Amino acid sequence: MPHASLTIDPAFVVGAIDRRLFGSFVEHLGRAVYDGIYEPDHATADEDGFRKDVIELVRELGVSTVRYPGGNFVSGYRWEDGVGPREQRPRRLDLAWHSLETNEIGLDEFARWSAKAGTELMLAVNLGTRGVQEALDLLEYANVRSGSTLSDLRVANGTPEPHGVVLWCLGNEMDGPWQLGHRSADDYGKLAAQTARAMRQLDPGLKLIACGSSNRQMPTFGAWERTVLEHAYDEIDYLSCHAYYHETPGDLPGFLASPVDMDRFIESVVATIDHVRALRPGRRRVDISFDEWNVWYVDRYHEEDKVTDPQVWPIAPRILEDSYTVADAVVVGGLLMSLLRHADRVTAASMAQLVNVIAPIMTEPGGPSWRQTTFFPFATTSRLARGVTLSVDVATSTYETAAYGDVPVVDAVATHDASAGETAVFLVNRSVDSPATVSVDVRGLGAATVAEAVTLWDDDVHARNTLDHPDRVGLRPTPSAAIDGGTLRVELPPVSWTAVSLR
């Protein structure tokens, strides 16, 4: 049986946990917006047409920020299409996802939804088919109180108060050949810097995010980051990272090790950021916004979902509606642990996405909503991970993977909230056939007790929640979690994610 040991000491701090680490993402894609958050004929719909059952689940999930409106969608989006009287809004072809966009929901409506869901709005500007002026126009409409043409237009459209958006993404995945307006790192870096400078002239308090690589496997990875930063370092606050993972047939052990790749991705980007920083005066620091991450079975989209007929442009098609397993949820829990482990430099993140599209929340038109397996580790981590991340060295055995080499069987991260007197320990057992025991030295916490211990696992690692069986998988109490003589002892089932709260 594998064993792991670690020590928790509040004196060894990695960094403060920014609540923006628990963000999500809503794109005009598939049924994320229409038949997702917005269904005016649904029994739970409010006065704005938003499903109240979905809002309640978003609040339960503990989402802090929501990135909008894309994603690939934003590189062809004209924001002004989505404001003003609905009956006058144009219907546009969305080239990114081969869909018809009705523009029933735009900035003003989505900002209202975001407020109802208790989240902070993160806006992306179109730097694919548009540029500096259009970004300034959107900023003026969104954030200026009144007195100018565009701010007065927002007021006339029924939103008297400015949206006050602080977080802005300067385009999306501009390194990707699939992106409308794709360009070189040199060209994008110049445009991002120009756009950032102009936006700060209007509102100096903005937090701006430049596009990093779409994934670590891009042939330009590393060089893209360096070049963009050489142009834009002094103008931005974050550089983005994106990563998706999926299980391949016959390689569950490798899939469970996916957070090791996220660790290495983050550390590589931090090294590049700090290299560029070292070559310039001042001590200004750029952090990472990991604003797309999740499990995504992208091959299924290309093989089954993708629409290519130039005469067929569906509205809100059922695409990217992955049904998540226990193994998927364990990996999601591990990816959250990776983000926490780098809380000193990853200070914003967005799980992609939120509803129906590779999402922890699913809905059926006219029917119920339910939690996917991935809902549970996100909601629990968002609730328990407060204060600071602590440095813990996990002593455990390793196993070999084809993609990542030798990786630890047991992964662990700990957080500590001194003001509340609470500590959380998050654990993953990657063994596919054996439970693991964990010993945690908690003497540095004083007289700690176990306040809560829950585990996500199942005898069937591919069990999932569905419309017909929405509660098949959930969190279970962890009866083995107990403190004895200053040591927390926990037994972890195979392929499991566990959270323990101490007070």
The one-letter amino acid at 378? F
**CATH assignment of 18-384?**
3.20.20.80
Report the pLDDT value the prediction gives residue 231, as an integer from 0 to 100.
98
Name the stretches of the chain with pLDDT < 50: none
Residue ranges of the chain assigned to CATH 2.60.40.1180: 4-8+390-502
* CB of 227 closer than 8 Å to CB of 276: no
Class of domain 4-8+390-502: mainly beta
Residue with tokens 């990996």: 331
* CB of 335 closer than 8 Å to CB of 120: no
Catalytic residue (one of 173, 225, 247, 422) = 173
Report the pLDDT value the prediction gives residue 282, as an integer from 0 to 100.
82
Report the pLDDT value the prediction gives residue 283, as an integer from 0 to 100.
82
Report the pLDDT value the prediction gives residue 479, as an integer from 0 to 100.
87
Residue with tokens 């992955």: 322
Q: How many CB atoms lie within 10 A of CB 416?
A: 26
Give the 3-state secondary structure of residue 417. Answer: strand
Active-site annotation holds for 60 = no
Report the pLDDT value the prediction gives residue 281, as an integer from 0 to 100.
86
Distance CA 301, CA 299 (A): 5
How much of the chain is in helix, strand and coil states, percent to nearest 5? 30, 25, 45
Residue spans of alpha helices (H) in 203-257: 223-232, 252-256
Residue ranges of the chain assigned to CATH 3.20.20.80: 18-384
pLDDT in tens, 192-209: 999 999 999 999 999 999
Active-site annotation holds for 173 = yes
Catalytic residue (one of 27, 140, 235, 292) = 292
* CB of 13 closer than 8 Å to CB of 389: yes
- State the Cα torsion 117-39-298-95 to the nearest 10°: -110
